[in-house]
Structure 1
């Protein structure tokens, strides 16, 4: 066998059923990577720095020799690690699809580094020598990033789910997905619920680059999957910023010019929902979240909302905040691209099952 370099489209197609080995340094991987990839660094961060310095200050040959000194002791452990990974992967795939999972077929791995150069070449040579079927990515991770950024420029058929805070839009999206509708949950990808309180109970947000990778892969899946043919993607109406992250401008522009299905649920019903959702959060963190919006909320309202939290009157505090968010959401709704349809729907309660069906029924009528 021989290592086979392939283009990004073929690489991602194979990645759906075979492990992707990212041989860049740990810091490169942790910053952003191909979703689902496995970190198998050829060099540590410090080793990469040493090799890079030798390449710039001495010569290519000296850098390669230093790299080989680092690589040599890692060869067997690296092969052992890939074997374990493939065993786990084979077991997982056999459970998903017991057919065509023969052990007689050489096990396949996909390898990439930053630009498809010496790092991926060295690891691919080792794994090929051992007997694995190895594919490398032409252009490396850099070509993947270019491919991802291209996705935001492509036209997408979007349906935007709108509604004031506390409507239960995330739960509605999840229900639509269970009913077979394509969705993109931007807040799940961003690991943030979108408001000043959106970080509460959430893990640390990914980097901007990783967020774009996750979103781009969702768009790729929509473009390339036959099951989504003729179906629009549902996405929640969002501001440009979700926590510390920005929705890519070309995609956001499409969101703002796509039909918006605005679900209007009574204020008290929504207030009940957010009290239940956020009411058990740490009081100091809630107060900190209120202080982050105090300039727009106003001095008196900020003071009243915080005093209510201190006195454990969560409902009164959240009522102030909900009115604030309703005002800002309505302003954003009015600033959508001229001529963009906004279809208003009346929901009697925060009920994701009924409201998801309400949306689908309206879609059929349209």
Structure 2
């Protein structure tokens, strides 16, 4: 591959081509791509100074300042970082924001160092526009089936087991409920949308047919789901996952509480119970108004009893009580109300095994 600019965005994303992003770190943090690595031409302060000079004195003065700020050892460090990137990813390409001056300067310095790699035509802005257009095109086509089911029924397990599916909660790094946040931070909104578009693009590349997506609300944690997709989901055919209350309680206890408690214990066993209590209490406080004062106080009391039983004899029974009350009194009524709006579009209802067999038969 020569140093000519690349405009085949589809291939870049489908092939997961390593991307070197030469924008400043602040730009990268605001939005990037899953396979991108930030190796800036200018750091944040340098970019800000150059931008100010451009506004006040024009392009030539800004370019001159840029070369003054990034020279000598600083320039050598930047070029060394680029060299290391392309030694690790010989097939990689690079981009700036619009595929303009920063890409040209980067390419020139790389060539001076004996490295001949192409940049992306139109840069980040063009790739982002491509992914947004792809995402809206997929929504317009309407090729989705919605996986519904009450909280704790195991919808994520079905999504992971069925190859033609999209895991929006996985992409958002959040399970979707008040108890759903992970230890790791959620991605930026733009990063989520980029990853979603790429994942859907890969599904389309496999051939025609609907993609299975879990029924989601407007927000997954702090990540917003596209309103156009939510409108599509309301009208799409649904598949409903069934599971007993007992099975749901067990799954939620394991996935939301026991696993978190185990992670806390690995960090500091003496604080694990207190950290678990704080996590649950914070989640309950977030939905306090919708729970109502009396129900909230009852659940908080059950939590305190549960922490005491957990620390004294490693007993999880009070957590099962808390979870069942949340399901029966809070989550299930909300699910039932939402389900009634779409029950005339249900294609199939069954357990995880039955749903996977039904999907395979089609």
- Shorter-normalised TM-score: what interval? 0.7 to 0.9
Q: How far 1:265 moved relative to its partner?
A: 0.9
RMSD of aligned alpha carbons:
2.2
Structure 2 residue 206 is matched with structure 1 residue 212: no
Find the partner of 2:96 among 98, 107, 113: 113
> Are the counterparts in 1 of residues 166 and 213 from structure 2 also a CA contact under 8 Å?
yes
CA 248–32 in structure 1, closer or farther in 2 if over 3 Å, else same? same
In the TM superposition, 1:1-366 aligns within 5 A as 3-9=3-9, 12=12, 16=15, 18-73=17-72, 74-89=74-89, 107-154=90-137, 155-176=141-162, 181-199=163-181, 201-223=182-204, 225=205, 228-280=206-258, 281=260, 282-312=276-306, 313-323=318-328, 324-336=330-342, 341-347=345-351, 355=352, 357-363=353-359
> Are the counterparts in 2 of residues 3 and 128 from structure 1 also a CA contact under 8 Å?
no
Paired with 1:238 and 1:149, the residues of 2 have a C-alpha distance of 20
> Are the counterparts in 2 of residues 19 and 86 from structure 1 also a CA contact under 8 Å?
no
Q: Where has structure 1 moved over 4 Å in runs of 4 or more?
A: none
Q: How far 1:124 moved relative to its partner?
A: 1.5
Q: How far 1:33 moved relative to its partner?
A: 0.4
CA 271–108 in structure 1, closer or farther in 2 if over 3 Å, else same? closer
Deviations 1:332-366 (A, max 9, x none): 22234x96x2134233xxxxxxx1x4113323566
Q: Helix, strand or coil for the counterpart of 1:133?
A: coil
Paired with 1:270 and 1:108, the residues of 2 have a C-alpha distance of 47
Deviations 1:152-183 (A, max 9, x none): 2211421222111111111222122xxxx222
Q: Which has the higher helix share?
A: 2
Q: Which runs of 5+ in 2 are unaligned?
A: 261-275, 307-317
Paired with 1:43 and 1:78, the residues of 2 have a C-alpha distance of 9
Q: How far 1:249 moved relative to its partner?
A: 1.8
> Are the counterparts in 1 of residues 180 and 256 from structure 2 also a CA contact under 8 Å?
no
Deviates most, 1-10 or 59-68: 1-10
Q: How far 1:252 moved relative to its partner?
A: 2.5
**How many aligned positions are there?**
330
CA 125–2 in structure 1, closer or farther in 2 if over 3 Å, else same? farther
- Structure 1 length normalisation: TM-score? 0.84
> Are the counterparts in 2 of residues 152 and 248 from structure 1 also a CA contact under 8 Å?
no
> Are the counterparts in 1 of residues 173 and 186 from structure 2 also a CA contact under 8 Å?
yes
Paired with 2:62 and 2:11, the residues of 1 have a C-alpha distance of 29
Q: How far 1:108 moved relative to its partner?
A: 4.1
Q: How far 1:258 moved relative to its partner?
A: 1.9
The equivalent residue for 2:268 is: none
Q: Helix, strand or coil for the counterpart of 2:150?
A: coil
- Structure 2 length normalisation: TM-score? 0.85
> Are the counterparts in 2 of residues 26 and 45 from structure 1 also a CA contact under 8 Å?
yes
Paired with 1:251 and 1:8, the residues of 2 have a C-alpha distance of 26
> Are the counterparts in 2 of residues 187 and 193 from structure 1 also a CA contact under 8 Å?
yes
